[in-house]
Amino acid sequence: MDQAPGSRQDDAHSGLPVCYRHPDRETGIRCTRCERPICPECMISASVGFQCPECVRTGSGTGHAPTASQPRTIAGGAVAADPHLLTKILVGLNLALFLVQTAVGDGFTDRFDLIGRAIMPALGFGELQGVAEGQWYRLLTSMFLHASYIHILSNMLSLWWIGGPLEAALGRVRYLALYVVSGLAGSALTYLIAAPNQASLGASGAIFGLFGALAVLVRRQRYDMRPVIALLVINLVITFGWSGISWQAHIGGLVAGVVVGVAMVHAPRERRALVQFGTCAVVLAAVVVLTLLRTAQLT
C-alpha cells in the first residue's frame, strides 16, 4: 500500500489541518465560531464545543477557561496527550508477531491465518482446519500476520501514515473500533468469496478501512479530494493488477471503513455515540451473517 497524501498544503501526509497557533500539531478540532483548527492547548470550552483564544479575546464568543469539560475530537472522542499512541501499539503488535512468525516458521502462521476449510498434512494437521471447522478466531488473528518483509513494511508504513492522523481525529476508542470492524469485514468477504483452501493474511483489510474513513473525513472538512481519489485508484489498480493479493479483504475493509467513517464524522451530536457504535454493531452483524452463510455452504 502507498502513502496516503494529505489534502492541505501545510500537512502533506495526513489530510488533517494543523493548529493555527502551533503549525507542528495536527488536529481534527475547529473553533465553533470561526472554524480555525485548534489543538488541545488552544481549546477554550464554550457552551457548545470549543473556541479559539482569538474569538474569546475579542468577545465574539462566550467561552471560559476549561475546567471540568474534556476536549473532544471532531467525532466526539476524548483528546489524548499522545494522539498516536494506539497506532504505535498496533504497529508494534504487528511487528512483534511478524518476528514470531519468522522465528517459529510456517507452523505458527498456518495455525492463525485465514483459511476456509482445508487439510494440511505436510504441516502435521491431519484433520480439516479453518473457519468452517469452528476456528472463527482466524478472522481476527489473520489481521496481524504477514507473508514477507515487503508485506509487513508496506502495511506498517501505510498504517502509520493513515492511522496516526485518524486516531487524532476520531479518538482512541472510535479509531480502534474502525480498525477492528474494517479488518473483520475484509476477512469475512475473503472467507465468503475466496477458495476455501486459499490462505489469506495481512492488515490490508483494516488499513483499507482506515483509508475509506480518511476519505470521508477529508470530504467532511471540505478539503481537496483529488489526492485521496488518486491514491485510492492507484491502490485499487495494485489490488486487482498483481497476483497473490487478497482483493476481497481490500474491498471488504474499504466498504466497511466508508460506512463506519460516515457514522463517525456525520453522526448528530445528540445521538453521536448511539449512531457511531450502532453502525459498528450492524457491520459486525453482517460479518457474522456472511460467516454463517459460508460455513453452511462449506459444511
Largest CA distance in the chain: 75
Structure confidence by residue, pLDDT tens digits, 231-267: 778 878 877 777 677 889 999 999 999 999 999 999 9
- Whether the per-residue pLDDT at 179 is higher than 90: the answer is yes
The closest of 16, 113, 78 to 273, measured between CA atoms, is: 78
Within a domain: 192: yes
Question: Does residue 177 belong to any structural domain of this protein?
Answer: yes
198 lies in some domain = yes
Residue 16 lies in a domain: no
pLDDT band at 123 (very low <50, low <70, confident <90, very high): low
pLDDT attached to residue 61: 44
Average pLDDT over residues 168-176: 93
Output the nine-digit C-alpha cell for 13. 501526509
Average pLDDT, rounded, for the chain: 84
Q: Cell 467525532 sits at which residue?
A: 75
Whether 244 is covered by a domain: the verdict is yes
**b or e along 245-262 (b: 16 or more beta carbons within 10 Å of the residue's beta carbon)?**
bbbbbbbbbbbbbbbbbb
Residue 119 included in any domain = yes
CA distance 295 to 299: 6
Per the structure, the complete domain to which residue 213 belongs is given by 85-298
- Residues designated catalytic: 204, 250
- The distance from CA 121 to its chain's CA centroid, rounded to whole angstroms, is 36
Residue 13 lies in a domain: no
CATH code of the domain in which 283 resides: 1.20.1540.10
C-alpha cell at 52: 479559539
Spatial distance between the Cα atoms of 185 and 195, rounded to a whole number of angstroms: 17
Beta bridge partners of 125: 120
Q: How many domains are there within the chain?
A: 1
- Bridge partners, 128 (sequence order): 119
pLDDT of 11 > 60? The answer is no
DSSP calls for 223-250: ---HHHHHHHHHHHHHHHHSTT--HHHH
First to last CA, the chain: 35
DSSP 25-57: -B-S-B-TTT--B--GGG-EE-SSSEE-HHHHH
Establish if 72 belongs to a structural domain: no
Tell me the Cα Rg of the chain.
Answer: 21
